[in-house]
Structure 1
């Protein structure tokens, strides 16, 4: 069947290693839209992190962000899906993760909060290609504990932990595995927590229904474990050469790496 909707992960997929959408990727996305194919960003980023993507892809209307906890319609300037973590799950995850030497982040409706000490030493935790993005988009607090009081009025959409020791990753996963939260990652150096009903795949299926596209008419391209659900959903699922094993296993097709215009090559081959 012909492709009606393309969902693009950003980091490690559409963005190259300099966090830029290449000229060839731009051209392929433009050609797809000219052909009448809807193109949606589908990313773990949200809030202030989205601005660099919006600036590079100004014609994109739909943004599935925060691993599927939100769908933002830029043209209408409104959120059309909202699925935050429960207070109890967020509070329990915080109490577990704070015992480890990680950079812990709290994604609320407008801001991304982290501790001031981690913010000031982000280079210790964050992959170097994301350090400046983190410095530009996080709000440092002296103490994150205030965000987990019952009188806190803002929903928590996502929690993220950047870690620099693999042992921490396995320990945190083990301690959190039975909590009502989905654990994924957009890189090999972070662990993300979302509502049990929030995933890129679930949000993509809802957007496809809105746009009257069947799963067999949807193309998804990604590289991380947080992309697995949308790769399993889409009829045309493509994993990057730099993808993690789980993403490659979930995808029907493969392309070259994000440094070699893998998104453009996949769109040209399967959608145009």
Structure 2
């Protein structure tokens, strides 16, 4: 175990926005033992504060499902893979034809663009920061779209993905990570967590066999398959569990911490 790569939401971070003390201790013990840490998330860079505030992490974070590599300490982008404006608008047209009720948003390197109705709660902090408007009116060719989002209010994310993914595969790679919302996340074809994690690990001279990865949702599948030790949370999506072949205990039982404690113990490291 030379590198630990962990998803954030549903893997180490709960709905209350907290990382458990046990999980924090396990990550600190990994760092003290010389094990590299990298977090691999669907979140955009603007939502990484739990890593800084609770873990004191100041290193690299792979964001937006692999589309962005972010330096937390310097607070700047290291690299990014972006969707062109014409691909975004064409994907929007195709999805809208399939599901007329769909609404859309786009994460860029400089902000968040969302259509009216994309977020239902009018008091949402996002709506006070970003003004809803049609994407065709607010996005420009200079905007680097790192994640294109599509949401419907009926059905499941799995059903929505099955309908949409084949139709837009030539334009974007599709996945999802929201457990209770039919929200799809689209990025540049060929981009996923595994691709960017493999590149990051290689930059450290670390191969897949020495990587332990944790995740819980379909956007983690490629990463869990790539890592030498990929663990899906027992509380995770069935497809992620099947892909990983190994399970960490349930999120509520500090599953990531339990696996890391066992691996550290095998290396002769005792946690306080």
Q: Determine which structure has greater relative contact order: mean sequence separation of CA pairs < 8 Å that are 6+ residues apart, divided by chain length.
A: 1
- The alignment partner of 2:9 has SS state of helix
- The alignment partner of 1:79 has SS state of strand
1:23 shift after superposition? 0.6
Residues 162 and 117 from structure 1, CA distance in 2 versus in 1: closer, same or farther, beyond 3 angstroms?
closer
Mapped pair 1:195 → 2:188: yes
1 CA distance for matches of 2:247 and 2:164?
34
1:145 to 136, 145, 162: 136
2:34 to 11, 33, 36: 36
Superposition map of 1:99-110 within 5 A: 100-110=100-110
- TM-score (structure 1 length as normaliser): 0.85
Alignment length, in residue pairs? 259
1:219 to 212, 215, 221: 212
Residues 88 and 10 from structure 1, CA distance in 2 versus in 1: closer, same or farther, beyond 3 angstroms?
same
2 CA distance for matches of 1:116 and 1:245?
33
2 CA distance for matches of 1:139 and 1:43?
22
1 CA distance for matches of 2:223 and 2:233?
14
Gaps in structure 1 of 5+ consecutive residues: 124-130
1 CA distance for matches of 2:102 and 2:47?
20
Q: Which residue of 1 aligns with 2:268?
A: none
- Deviation digits for residues 11-36 of structure 1 (CA, Å, limit 9, x no counterpart): 11010231211111101000010100
Q: Which residue of 1 aligns with 2:269?
A: none
- TM-score (structure 2 length as normaliser): 0.85
2 CA distance for matches of 1:51 and 1:179?
34
Superposition map of 1:42-81 within 5 A: 42-81=40-79
- Deviation digits for residues 108-158 of structure 1 (CA, Å, limit 9, x no counterpart): 112122124333x248xxxxxxx96x748962323222245xx53111110
Residues 94 and 216 from structure 1, CA distance in 2 versus in 1: closer, same or farther, beyond 3 angstroms?
same
Mapped pair 1:182 → 2:194: no
